[in-house]
Every structure is written in structure tokens, then in C-alpha cells.
A and B are shown apart, each in its own frame.
Chain A
Amino acid sequence: MERLRFARKDLLVKAKTSRRDAAFALVVAGLLVAALCSGGCIFSPREPDGPPEGGEGDWEPPVTTTILRSNLKSAMERENVGNYSDCFAEDFRFHVDPSDSLDAGAEGEVRYANWVKSDETQAMQSVFAAASEISIQFTMVEGPDETQDDTFRREDYTMTVYWSSGQHVNEEITYKGRATLHMRREQSRWSIYKWVDRRTVEPDVNETWGVVRGDFRP
């Protein structure tokens, strides 16, 4: 009899607990629904001012590493920071030429340290703000193996920038170097996750793209 009474008490406690759990489940579900509803307000992108007056888009889905390089080139030349940023993976890292870091003196220790995607985007956005015209030529030195999902391209680049403000205002400067672009395919799209920048074998005639990045790192 005593045992039955305790068993009944246990059942009552369990029933109360499950009702309380159900109530909290409802509260959680309500919070989720409320958050989703509020999401409708928070997550409303703006409407553009109108149809384009400038050039039309030339960005292609980067299903090959060649298209990715082409997107990078056109984003630079059209000074399009959104498309430029889309060329890089979220875990992107930039590795400067050791000589560029050493030649930056005391500043070099922090100028190129831990360079991630947000640094890349912000630095290039500042370059776009200071440059009135950019042109880039890539020459492939070593090709990728696109049968793998992780590969690299080695490219010699020549970048010419006409500066409208900053240290070289009203000057046209040519930058040269060799970039090893490590790329990864995710959901059929390629993106750059590591950029190893090196000076060319030629004596120091031109600075590298890495130096431009460092000059504009916020």
C-alpha cells in the first residue's frame, strides 16, 4: 500500500515535470517564431536606387580556377569590392614576401601579421578609394590540378595603378610579383584560401602587390 502511494506520487511528479517541459517547449517554440517574425523586419535588404548607369556585371560563377582568376581581375579593374571579396574563402590568409616584411622595418612586425579576409577586403577597399584606374595582367607559371578539390595556381602578375590620392598622387605605378594562389572547391565553386606573395627573380625594379596591401591596411 505504502509502495503504491509512493508510486502514485512519483507519477504525479513526472506528470507535473512533463507538463512543465511541454510549457517550456512552447515558450522556446514561441521565441523561435518571434525571432523568425522579427527576422522579417531585421533581414530586409535595401532596394537599389535604380537600374545601372555604369557597366554591367561580368562576374561568373567560379566553377573553374580560370574563371575565379578572371573574376579577381575584373573585380580589381572595376574596383568592385563585393565581387573581390567573393573570390576569397572565409578562412583566407595572406603571406607576404619575407623581404617585404623585413624592409618595412619596425612596422613590418605588425603590418602583415595575421592577415585574414576582413583585412584583405578593407585594404583593397581603401586601394579602390585611392586609385582612379587599375589594370592587371596574370601569366600562369604553373597550372592547377582540378581533379582535386584543393589545388594551386602559380601566377606572375603585373598590376598598374593610377593613384588619385595618397603617397603617389597623380602617379602611375607598376607592381610586379609572383602569387601562388591556393584554392579550394566547395559546393562546385572555387575560392582562394591562401595567397603566397613573392617578389620576382628580377632585381628590385617594382614593388609587389603585398606592399600595396600593407600600405593600406587599416
Chain B
Amino acid sequence: MKRSRYTVLLLIALLAVVVTANSSAWAQVPESPQPPPSQDSPPDSLAAAGADSVEINGQMVGAPVAISNDINAFQNVGPGTRPRVADQEPEFHPVYKLTYRREEEIGTWGHDFTLNYQLSDRLRFNSSADITIKENDVLNRENRQESWRAGLNYNLTSAVGMAVKFNRSYQIDTRNAGEAGEVTSSREKETMDFSTDYRKTHFSGLSTSLSASAGIERNDYSDIQSNGTTQNVSASLGYEIVEGLESNFGYTGRHSVLDSRQGDFESTDESISHALDTDFTYEWDQHALSANARRSYSQTQYPKEEQTEEREQESESLGVTTDFRPLENLGIDFNFDYSRNQSYYAIETTKDSDVKSRSVGAGVDYKLNGTVFSAKLSSKTDRSNQFSIQTGDTYSDSFGGSVSHSFGSKVSLSFRGSVSLVSYHYDDPEANDQDRDLMNQEASLTLDYKPRSDIAADILLRVKESQLIYIRTTRSGDNKKTNTYTIQPSIKKTFSPNVAVSQKYELSADYTFYTFDRDANFLIRNFGVTTNLDWRMFGGVNTTFEHRYRGQDEGSYTEGDDGIERYGKSSERDDHTLSIMVRYKLFDLIDLEVKQDYSVQAKWVFEGSTRRLSWEKHDTSLQGKASMNHDLENGTTVRLSVSRTLRDAPNITERQEDVWNASVSLERTF
């Protein structure tokens, strides 16, 4: 009964809007005097409005160049006017796209079909169908997803529109297809909506929009079926109060009543939601101030384990942001944000939560000649009430800054630093011992140097420290600090437009210190060099040679007889990889690529002072790839890519020895 009442009321409202639009907007058209052109209604805009014509009582009432106040209410003559189709024969161009992609054991077929047709200057038909099928040969699975959409949009006037829309989505996942253990899971959803909307932009800086829709919905899940009605309303108002000060207000609401069934359990589920939002923006000179607020409430009912679950959610948020530029080269910004999100469940009460969050931030940037400074400080507090031992507070603070300077066109230098602390405090430390602090600090220096046009060099120095501190003694055994020191120089030399050589080094040391277990302290040292040669040999042939070396040793600290802890290396590892790649464009149409990799990895372990080879691996791979993109004259686009990788290495599966990846895409506009 309730469902019918809502639907009837909404349909009456829709009808009222349509009737009002028809009667007041058009009934007086022939009698309306033609107003003189004014600054508020420039001739072009007026002509656009005048291009409207509609059939009334079997007669075309066209070119309503005369605009009365009533007509104005249902017409847009300025910004915001609905896009209109010029007087021309509507064209019919359906588009079909077929794709196939093969990635290892998964083959994916895609069929996309779009048909949009402008039936007249007021009536438009839109439709699309997307079907994706994924087949996994190894797991014997198939996943099929279908999405169907169709809609008819009618512009009653340039401000009033109506539409009818149909949506259907279907997904089915089948495992062990065709075998004894075949299992399927599926989800199907169908909706049909009738809607009307009104959008009006006034020259006074006021814009309004209203929309309402009513429809039916049907859901079919693996073990739940439901169907019923839905209603939606939304309204928004935009107004420029004074020059530079803009405001927007909006409301959206939704209501649905669904008859649901899960097994033998039947229920009528009613859901409702409301959301209000507003924002203000004020811009003057080069400064800006903006504020936004939002509040929403929803109550959703759905079947859960043959009972009716009811989820109630309430949220509110407020944000203020300022951006000042007191000088052309100085910017200062501040922000404040507050939010609260509450969720309560009738059955799954363990998921109840009430989370409040407050944050403030400030930033500054300043440019002085070739120097740029910037800094940002932020602080956030979250109060999370989970109604369990998880209830507690989280404090997050961070600060980051950077300074960069260019010394002419050859040298530039930049320094960056950041520090952050995240602190978790739980209300019941006896029951929850996960109270902890996470602290990170990082500083880096980058120098770019271009002494000549054919030489470019750079160096990066970075120091990073991360700390994990558990507060409770039951957890403090895991407390640790990690320090990482990195140096990365690189150089690139261009010998000619066809030949360039580059080399990149990386040296790093990674220390891990346990606060209460010093014997477990760790050190890892890395050294890497990557050498690259790019050579455009002739015509369309490009060749790349690359050698990568990575060396690593690791070990722990052990206390000597003298009571001093020393680093004891426990293992060493070397990786060498040599790659050769040749690219060629055949007939200016097909890109061909052949790549061969050869790598050797070896690991040694230290037993006392003895170094013993633990393992050695050789890995060879050969990859061939062909790809093309081609547009045919009849409107068909072809995209093709095929690659095959042959690999020979220990500890790989048979499937990894020969891998095909392919993709084909055909798109045709009829």
C-alpha cells in the first residue's frame, strides 16, 4: 500500500510538472510580443531559444522568438541552454567493437555495441550493450558480464526534459564448467525509470534544477530475489550573491520498497536516503576562500541470513579552505575539515561504528628569483568508536618542505624533507595491546647537471628512517627502527642523433635495529649498475643493449668477546642480466620487436669464515612481439598485438615455458 502511494504521488507530481510546462510555456506563444534585443538577452542566445518548436494540437508552433515572463520560466536563453541539434537530417551511426585478449591462461572476449539516434531535434534515443566473457583454462572458470542500457530523452523545452531509461546488468561466474563439481554464482539487476527534469539558468546569476523519477527494480542474486519500486528526487540552486561570491545548495532523496525472498523467508524491505549539501566560494584579487558542508541519512533494509537486516547510516562533514596570495610570488593556504560517519546494524551489530575526524593544515610556497620554497604542515585526529576493544583515537601529524634552486641553465639543486607520526591509542589497553606509533623521516638532495648539450648527469642522496613502536610490553618485542641510506648517480651521453649511452649506479645500506632484541639487528647492502646503449642502426631499426648488475650482502650483528657488536655477513648474492632488444617497423604498418634476456643469479652463504655457493640459476627468455594499429577507409579500426615468450629456467612451471599474449580489437562505425 505504502509503495503504491509513493509511486502514485510521484507520478502525479511528474504529470503536474509536464502539464504546467506545457500550458504556461507554450499556450501564450503566438500572442507574445517580440521583445527588443537587450544586453541581457543577446541576439545569438535569443535565436537559440527561438529555434525551439513544438507540436501543439497537431500544429507546429515554431520559432517562438517572442518571450514572455511565463515562457522565460521554462526556457534557457543563456548559459545552461540544453544543447540543440542543428536543422539537419539525423544520421544513424551504430558502432560495434569486438576485442579479444589473451593473457597467459585467461582469454577475454568483449562485444561493445552503441546505438545513439537523434530522432528529431527534441527526441533522442540512446542505447548500448557491453558483454565481457573471461575464460580461465587452468581453473576451468568462466565469468560473463553483461550490461544493457536503453533510453529515450525528450526535450519538452530548452529547460524541461523527460526521459525513460532501462538498465540491465547480469553477471555469472561458473566454476568446473561441464564437470561434476560445477558451481555457479550470479547477479542480475533490472531497472526502469521515468524521469523529468527542469534546469534554468538566469542572467542574474541564479541557476536552478529539479528532477524527479519513478521506476521499478528487480534483483536476482544467487540466493536472494527482490522486486519493487523506486523514487528519486533532486534539487539544486546556484546563486552568485555578489561578484566573486558563489553559492550552491543541493538535495537528493531516494526511496524504495522491495519485496524480497531468501529461501523460505519473505519480507518487504523499505529503504530511504536524504542528502543535503552546500558550498560557498569567494574569490577576490588573487585570493580564494571556500567552504562546504554536507549531511546525509540513510536507512536500508535487506535480507540477511533469512532475517531482515537494517543498516542506518548518518554522516556530516564540514570543510573550509583558504588560499591567499599576499604577493605575486607568495602563496599561503589553510584548511580545516570535520566529518562524522555513523553506521548501525540491526543484526550484525559487531559492525556498528561512529567515526569522528578533524584535521587542520597549512601550507606556504614562495618564489624568489630562481629559488622555490614550499612547506606543508597538517594534523588529523580520528575518534573511532567501534563499540568493541577496537575503540580508540588515531593522531596523524606530518610536515614536509622543499627548496629548489636553478643555477643558470646547467645546474639545478633541490632539497626535500618530511616527517610524519601516526599514533594509535586504544581505550582498553588491557584487552587491546596494539597501541603503537609509526614515525617516518626522510630527507633527499637531488642535483641535475648538464655541462653540455650532449651530456646529462644527476645524483640523488637520500636518508630515510622508519620506526615502529608498540607501547605495551606484550608487543614491544617487535619494536624496530629502519634506517636506509641511498646514493644514485647517473650519466647519459648522446654521441649522435642515433646513438646514446647511459649508466646508472645505486648504492644503498639498509639497517634494521630491534629495540629490545639487539642480536636480531640486520644490515643489507646493495650495489647496482645499469648500463644502456640505444642505437638507431638504419631506417626503422632500433636496437637497445642493456646490462644490469645487482650485488647484495646481508647479515646480523653479533657480540664479540670484547662485548662490542660487529656486523657478521651471512650471505652474498649477485645478479647479472643482459638484454638485447631490436625493434623494426615493417611496411610502415607493423611494429616488430624481438627481445632476448639472459640472467645469472648466484647466492653464497658464510659458515664461519668459509664462503660456500648456495645456489646458482640461469634464466633465458626470448620474446617476439608484433603489433599494428590501422584505420580502414570504411570506418573500421584494427588493433592487433601478439607476443610469445619462451623461457628456460629452473623452478618454473611447464606453463611458464611457453606463454602467448595476444589482443585483437576491431571497431566499426556503420
A residues apposed to B, CB below 8 Å = 20-22, 24-25, 28-29, 31-32, 35-36, 38-39, 42-57, 59-61, 63, 78, 80-83, 86, 98-99, 102-103, 105-108, 125-126, 128-130, 141-143, 145-147, 165-166, 187-189, 198-199, 201-204, 218
Chain A: CB-nearest residue to B353: A218
Cβ–Cβ contact B476 & A102, under 8 A: no
With a cutoff of 8 Å between Cβ atoms, the chain B residues found around residue A83 in the complex are 468, 478
- Given A43-B397, A45-B439, A98–B185 Cβ distance below 8 Å? yes
Cβ–Cβ contact B520 & A57, under 8 A: yes
B186 at the interface (CB under 8 A from A): yes
Complex CA–CA separation, A129 to B434 (angstroms)? 10
Cβ–Cβ contact A56 & B470, under 8 A: no
With a cutoff of 8 Å between Cβ atoms, the chain A residues found around residue B517 in the complex are 52, 56-57
B379 at the interface (CB under 8 A from A): yes
Chain A: CB-nearest residue to B182: A203
B368 at the interface (CB under 8 A from A): yes
Complex CA–CA separation, A28 to B372 (angstroms)? 11
Complex CA–CA separation, A44 to B327 (angstroms)? 35
With a cutoff of 8 Å between Cβ atoms, the chain B residues found around residue A59 in the complex are 478, 480
User: Which residues of B in the span 25-42 have a Cβ within 8 Å of any Cβ on A?
Assistant: none
Cβ–Cβ contact A43 & B399, under 8 A: yes
A48-B476, A98-B171, A102-B187 are known; give 19 further A-B pairs, CB within 8 A: A42-B399, A43-B419, A45-B437, A49-B471, A51-B473, A52-B517, A54-B474, A56-B514, A61-B482, A61-B522, A78-B478, A99-B175, A103-B222, A126-B386, A141-B653, A143-B652, A147-B599, A187-B464, A201-B176
Cβ–Cβ contact A43 & B439, under 8 A: yes
B74 at the interface (CB under 8 A from A): no
With both chains docked as a complex, state the minimum distance between the C-beta of B220 and any C-beta of chain A, in angstroms.
10
With a cutoff of 8 Å between Cβ atoms, the chain A residues found around residue B23 in the complex are none
* Interface mask (B474-487 → A, CB under 8 Å = 1, otherwise 0): 11111110101010
Cβ–Cβ contact B554 & A63, under 8 A: yes
User: Which residues of B in the span 165-179 have a Cβ within 8 Å of any Cβ on A?
Assistant: 171-173, 175-176
With both chains docked as a complex, state the minimum distance between the C-beta of A137 and any C-beta of chain B, in angstroms.
20
With both chains docked as a complex, state the minimum distance between the C-beta of A185 and any C-beta of chain B, in angstroms.
10
* Top 3 A-B pairs, shortest CB-CB distance: A52-B477, A102-B185, A45-B437
With both chains docked as a complex, state the minimum distance between the C-beta of A19 and any C-beta of chain B, in angstroms.
12
With a cutoff of 8 Å between Cβ atoms, the chain A residues found around residue B315 in the complex are none
Complex CA–CA separation, A86 to B181 (angstroms)? 39
With a cutoff of 8 Å between Cβ atoms, the chain B residues found around residue A51 in the complex are 473, 476, 516
With both chains docked as a complex, state the minimum distance between the C-beta of A117 and any C-beta of chain B, in angstroms.
13
B residues apposed to A, CB below 8 Å = 139-140, 143, 171-173, 175-176, 181, 183, 185-187, 219, 221-224, 226, 302-304, 327, 329-330, 350-351, 353, 364, 366, 368, 373, 375, 377, 379, 386, 388-390, 397, 399, 401, 419-421, 423, 432, 434, 436-439, 464, 467-480, 482, 484, 486, 508, 510, 512, 514-517, 520, 522, 524, 526, 548, 552, 554, 575, 577, 597, 599, 601, 619, 651-653, 655-656
With both chains docked as a complex, state the minimum distance between the C-beta of A105 and any C-beta of chain B, in angstroms.
4
With both chains docked as a complex, state the minimum distance between the C-beta of A48 and any C-beta of chain B, in angstroms.
4
Complex CA–CA separation, A166 to B432 (angstroms)? 16
Complex CA–CA separation, A167 to B202 (angstroms)? 57
Cβ–Cβ contact B479 & A57, under 8 A: yes
Chain A: CB-nearest residue to B183: A204
Cβ–Cβ contact B375 & A106, under 8 A: no
Complex CA–CA separation, A56 to B475 (angstroms)? 8
With a cutoff of 8 Å between Cβ atoms, the chain A residues found around residue B438 in the complex are 82
Cβ–Cβ contact B516 & A56, under 8 A: yes
With a cutoff of 8 Å between Cβ atoms, the chain A residues found around residue B472 in the complex are 48-49
With both chains docked as a complex, state the minimum distance between the C-beta of A148 and any C-beta of chain B, in angstroms.
9
- Given A28-B330, A199-B175, A201-B175, A61–B512 Cβ distance below 8 Å? yes
Cβ–Cβ contact A32 & B514, under 8 A: no
- Given A56-B517, A82-B478, A106-B221, A32–B401 Cβ distance below 8 Å? yes
With a cutoff of 8 Å between Cβ atoms, the chain B residues found around residue A126 in the complex are 386, 390
- B interface majority secondary structure: strand
Complex CA–CA separation, A96 to B464 (angstroms)? 34
- Given A105-B221, A105-B222, A201-B175, A42–B421 Cβ distance below 8 Å? yes
Complex CA–CA separation, A45 to B438 (angstroms)? 8
Cβ–Cβ contact A147 & B183, under 8 A: no
Cβ–Cβ contact A39 & B399, under 8 A: yes
Which of B181, B386, B470 sits near A48, CB closer than 8 Å?
Answer: B470
Cβ–Cβ contact A128 & B476, under 8 A: no
With a cutoff of 8 Å between Cβ atoms, the chain B residues found around residue A145 in the complex are 619
With a cutoff of 8 Å between Cβ atoms, the chain B residues found around residue A108 in the complex are 187, 221
Cβ–Cβ contact B601 & A56, under 8 A: no
With both chains docked as a complex, state the minimum distance between the C-beta of A84 and any C-beta of chain B, in angstroms.
11
Cβ–Cβ contact B183 & A125, under 8 A: no
With both chains docked as a complex, state the minimum distance between the C-beta of A57 and any C-beta of chain B, in angstroms.
4
With a cutoff of 8 Å between Cβ atoms, the chain A residues found around residue B467 in the complex are 45
Cβ–Cβ contact B476 & A99, under 8 A: no
Cβ–Cβ contact A102 & B173, under 8 A: yes
With both chains docked as a complex, state the minimum distance between the C-beta of B521 and any C-beta of chain A, in angstroms.
11
Cβ–Cβ contact A81 & B434, under 8 A: yes
With both chains docked as a complex, state the minimum distance between the C-beta of B99 and any C-beta of chain A, in angstroms.
19
Complex CA–CA separation, A51 to B516 (angstroms)? 6
With a cutoff of 8 Å between Cβ atoms, the chain B residues found around residue A202 in the complex are 181
Cβ–Cβ contact B469 & A80, under 8 A: no
| 21 A-B pairs in the complex with CB atoms less than 8 angstroms apart | A21-B329, A28-B375, A35-B375, A36-B399, A42-B421, A44-B421, A45-B437, A52-B476, A57-B517, A59-B480, A83-B468, A86-B468, A102-B172, A105-B222, A107-B304, A142-B653, A187-B484, A187-B508, A187-B510, A203-B181, A218-B353
With both chains docked as a complex, state the minimum distance between the C-beta of B309 and any C-beta of chain A, in angstroms.
9
Most chain B beta-carbon contacts within 10 A, residue among A48, A143, A198: A48
Cβ–Cβ contact A188 & B526, under 8 A: yes
Cβ–Cβ contact A80 & B526, under 8 A: no
Complex CA–CA separation, A134 to B477 (angstroms)? 19
With a cutoff of 8 Å between Cβ atoms, the chain A residues found around residue B304 in the complex are 107
With a cutoff of 8 Å between Cβ atoms, the chain B residues found around residue A143 in the complex are 651-652
Chain A: CB-nearest residue to B600: A147
- Given A129-B388, A129-B432, A98–B173 Cβ distance below 8 Å? yes
With a cutoff of 8 Å between Cβ atoms, the chain B residues found around residue A21 in the complex are 327, 329, 368
Complex CA–CA separation, A44 to B520 (angstroms)? 25
Which of A47, A98, A187 sits near B143, CB closer than 8 Å?
Answer: A98
With a cutoff of 8 Å between Cβ atoms, the chain A residues found around residue B524 in the complex are 61, 63, 188
Cβ–Cβ contact B434 & A106, under 8 A: no
Complex CA–CA separation, A36 to B377 (angstroms)? 10
With both chains docked as a complex, state the minimum distance between the C-beta of B301 and any C-beta of chain A, in angstroms.
10
Cβ–Cβ contact B434 & A125, under 8 A: yes
With both chains docked as a complex, state the minimum distance between the C-beta of A214 and any C-beta of chain B, in angstroms.
11
Chain A: CB-nearest residue to B377: A35
Cβ–Cβ contact B508 & A188, under 8 A: yes
With both chains docked as a complex, state the minimum distance between the C-beta of B129 and any C-beta of chain A, in angstroms.
20
Most chain A beta-carbon contacts within 10 A, residue among B219, B350, B419: B350
With a cutoff of 8 Å between Cβ atoms, the chain B residues found around residue A39 in the complex are 399, 419
Chain A: CB-nearest residue to B464: A187
Cβ–Cβ contact B421 & A166, under 8 A: no
Cβ–Cβ contact A31 & B473, under 8 A: no
- Given A102-B187, A105-B221, A147-B599, A57–B478 Cβ distance below 8 Å? yes
With a cutoff of 8 Å between Cβ atoms, the chain B residues found around residue A50 in the complex are 473, 476
With both chains docked as a complex, state the minimum distance between the C-beta of B38 and any C-beta of chain A, in angstroms.
45
Cβ–Cβ contact A203 & B219, under 8 A: no
With a cutoff of 8 Å between Cβ atoms, the chain A residues found around residue B172 in the complex are 102
Complex CA–CA separation, A42 to B361 (angstroms)? 14
- Given A56-B477, A105-B222, A147-B577, A63–B552 Cβ distance below 8 Å? yes
Cβ–Cβ contact A201 & B480, under 8 A: no
With a cutoff of 8 Å between Cβ atoms, the chain B residues found around residue A204 in the complex are 183
With a cutoff of 8 Å between Cβ atoms, the chain B residues found around residue A54 in the complex are 473-477
